[in-house]
Structure 1
Amino acid sequence: MTSPPLNAIKTFECAARHLSFSLAADELHVTASAVSHQIKSLEAYLGVRLFRRQTRQIRLTPEGEAYLPAIRMGLEQINEATRRLMSRQDAVIRINVAPAIAGGWLIPRLYDFYSTHAGVEIEITTSMRLVDFSRSDVDLAVRYGKGKWPGLISHLLLQEELVLVCSPKLLEGDRGPKSATDLKHLPLLHVRPKITDWQEWFSAAGIEPLDLEKAIGFQSSPLMLDAVEAGLGYGIVSRHLIQQELASGRVVIPLEIHATGSNGYYLVYPESRNNDPKVALFRDWVLAQIKPS
């Protein structure tokens, strides 16, 4: 046996609570005749009368009296389940992040977030592409670029400080480069979407850019960093994103030449969501992370 229509059930509970079709109509934002129609359809479905209709009032029949408590309990359970589900969804902040900044900068800082925002979950996805907020459930994103994207508010998180890195094994036996020009004889690695990093570093070093045609390319900074750690060659990365690797000695900076990149990592979200509580919560926290202590 199928369940009666939920709309008729809700109408019955409302009419029984008010003992008035007109008051039920006001609460449900329908006409009194629509309420009466829903009640009649429910009575026809059940095969019993739920109300005694009198001249100026209605009363529940014994069948209606017996039916009402279970209906109220069922509707309350539906409302509570809905509230819990929506509350759980509201407690999830979904962030899409460029791979390099996810593990190298954001994730190590999340302990601080969870210690001050218990019960709020961060869900992180990674990609190199700018997320389409209109077609996804992402709340905020962290993107690499110059900070100008139509329809989005952006906040600079990191201005890149580009450095040359390699595995310490490449420096054994005094084999490392003594100057930037020595790199023409050494294996170079680059991140394809960020190949201009090398040009900016060469410029800071005061030399003409070297030919990168034979350099090994990777699709993301984490992949290139894995290759650097494995000793496959020399790469350019943002110093902010390799603090753990430097501290552990997995990578080293063979030449103290630093370049300020023309791009940076930005927190972005739609202009229409500037006052969204979830957006504001994460935005205020992450911006506090970059303030000088």
Structure 2
Amino acid sequence: MTQFDSSILQPRRLPPLAALRAFEAAARHVSFRLAAAELGVTPTAISHQIRLLEETLGLALFIRRARGVALTDAGRRLFPTLRDGFDMFDRAIRELSPRRRAAVTLSATTLFTVRRILPAIGGFRERFPDYDLRLHASDDPVDLVAGEADVAVRYGSGRYRGLVATPLLAERFGVLCSPKAGIARPEDLRGMTLLHIEWRRAGRAPDWRLWARLAGIEGLSVDQGPRFTEDDHALQAAAAGSGVALSGLALARPAIDAGLLVHPFGPVIEGEFYHAVTTPERRDDPAVRAVCDWLQEDVV
């Protein structure tokens, strides 16, 4: 064979690439519909491309039936070569392309994000340099099954249908105020403005009436005082000396440690747990496991 006979120098007489891709996908799935879904086109477009390939080759590649398709002998001979060829293309391109960093979307309430996640965010990059973390702060639950986030921090019992939950942190609710408020015992609350948080979980929410009953104190104006729809706003008002809040001690811990708030006395109302929640399919993904480990070990 001379250099002029080499297939490297002679132009290749190949059918259109789109027709070859359509056939390979349809043969692999044994379905025009599934091939169309994979390639992002319509089943009609797949059928058109395969007709074009069959006309180019002068051979029937599929047997069309009322309830589906089947490969002909020619189709069965052609399929393995195209499948292996496309697999080789894919491997070569992946090896040439720069490695893409895995990104994980973590959803949590605004208060949990501000009070717990953001102070620890710098440590995530140090521990897991191969992963990018995307934060989604919202008080509305995301649909993990639909892929709106990979991991979510949720407060509750941990029983979430179709999801797996890992306990992170128990919440307890207690009195929080500015250190300048100068209160040292429950009776001192009678002269203070009580700040109320309108919890979204009606029926399970701690409130001043419940706290007063546990404390055995009477005469508190448990229904009076400003009301807040956001926990953080009530805590900011308490830190500014505008009143006394009944809020989660776990999420207030950074402000307590910084001396902005104090928890002067009990009792406390026992709450539930914050959980790291994901889908069973995503649970064993290395990037998702990294985020869950970080939440357990560094955030809480």
Same fold, judged at TM 0.5 (above): yes
Within 5 Å, give how 1:181-260 maps onto structure 2.
181-193=187-199, 195-199=205-209, 201-207=211-217, 210-253=220-263, 255-260=264-269
User: Secondary structure, in 3 states, of the residue corresponding to 1:158?
Assistant: strand
Q: CA deviation at 1:10?
A: 6.0
Query: How big is the shift at 1:182?
Result: 3.3
Distance apart, 1:83 and its partner CA: 6.2
SS at match of 1:135: coil
Residue 179 of structure 1 corresponds to: 185
Instruction: Say if 2:158 and 2:275, in contact at 8 Å, map to a contact too.
Output: yes
Q: 1:162 aligns with which of 151, 170, 173?
A: 173
| Aligned-residue CA RMSD (Å) | 4.0
User: How far apart are residue 222 of structure 1 and its match?
Assistant: 1.3
The equivalences for 1:31-42 within 5 A come to 37-38=52-53
Q: Which residue of 2 aligns with 1:281?
A: 290
Native 8 Å contact 1:95 1:124 kept in 2 = yes
The one-letter code of the counterpart of 1:129 is D
Residue 115 of structure 2 contacts residue 252 of structure 2 at CA under 8 Å; is this kept in 1? yes
Looking at structure 2, the residues matched to 134 and 82 of structure 1 have their Cα atoms a distance apart, in angstroms, of 33
CA contact (8 A) 2:178 2:262 kept: yes
Please report how far the alpha carbon of residue 203 of structure 1 lies from its aligned counterpart in structure 2 after TM superposition. Answer: 4.6
Alpha-carbon contact 2:142-2:148 (below 8 Å) kept: no
Looking at secondary structure, tell me which structure has more helix per residue: 1
CA distance in 1, matches of 2:16, 2:245: 65
Helix, strand or coil: the match of 1:129?
coil
Contact 1:202 1:209 in 2 (8 A): no
Amino acid aligned to 1:187: T
SS in 1 for 2:199: helix
> Following the alignment from structure 1 to structure 2, what is the Cα–Cα distance between the partners of residues 116 and 181?
48
Is the Cα contact below 8 Å between 2:106 and 2:150 reproduced in 1?
yes
The offset of 1:239, in angstroms, is: 2.5
Aligned to 2:34: none
Structure 2 gaps of 5+ residues are 1-14, 31-48, 57-85
CA contact (8 A) 1:180 1:205 kept: yes
Deviation at 1:123, TM superposition (A): 0.9
Residue 45 of structure 2 aligns with which residue?
none
Find the residue that maps to 2:145 and give its secondary structure. helix
Aligned to 1:56: none
Match of 1:46 in 2: none
- Aligned CA distance change for structure 1 residues 201 and 154 (closer, same or farther; 3 Å): farther
For residues 17-36 of structure 1, the C-alpha deviation after alignment (integer angstroms, 9 at most, x for no partner) is xxxxxxx96997599xx779
Identify the range of structure 1 (242-251 vs 282-291) with the bigger mean alpha-carbon deviation: 282-291
Displacement after TM superposition at 1:118 (Å): 0.4
Cα distance in 2 for residues equivalent to 1:30 and 1:271: 26
CA gap of 1:39–1:81, structure 2 versus 1, over 3 A, is farther
| Aligned counterpart in structure 2 of residue 148 of structure 1, from 130, 141, 159 | 159
Separation of aligned partners in 2, 1:252 and 1:283 = 30
What is the CA distance between 1:258 and its match in structure 2? 4.4
Q: Deviations over 1:128-158 (max 9, x none)?
A: 2322223343001111222222222222211
**Per-residue deviation, 1:80:** 5.4
Aligned-partner Cα distance in 2 for 1:135–1:288: 28
Aligned to 2:74: none
Deviates more, 1:113-122 or 1:268-277: 268-277
Q: CA deviation at 1:266?
A: 1.5
Number of aligned residue pairs:
234
Q: Residue 243 of structure 2 aligns to a residue in which SS? A: coil
State the distance in 1 between where 2:21 and 2:294 align. 43
- Which region of structure 1 is more displaced relative to structure 2, 95-104 or 267-276? 267-276
Structure 1 residue runs of 5 or longer lacking an equivalent are 12-23, 42-71
Q: Is the 8 A contact 2:173 2:206 kept in 1?
A: no
Q: What is the rounded CA distance, in whole Å, between the counterparts of 1:224 and 1:148 in structure 2?
A: 29
Q: Is the 8 A contact 1:203 1:209 kept in 2?
A: no
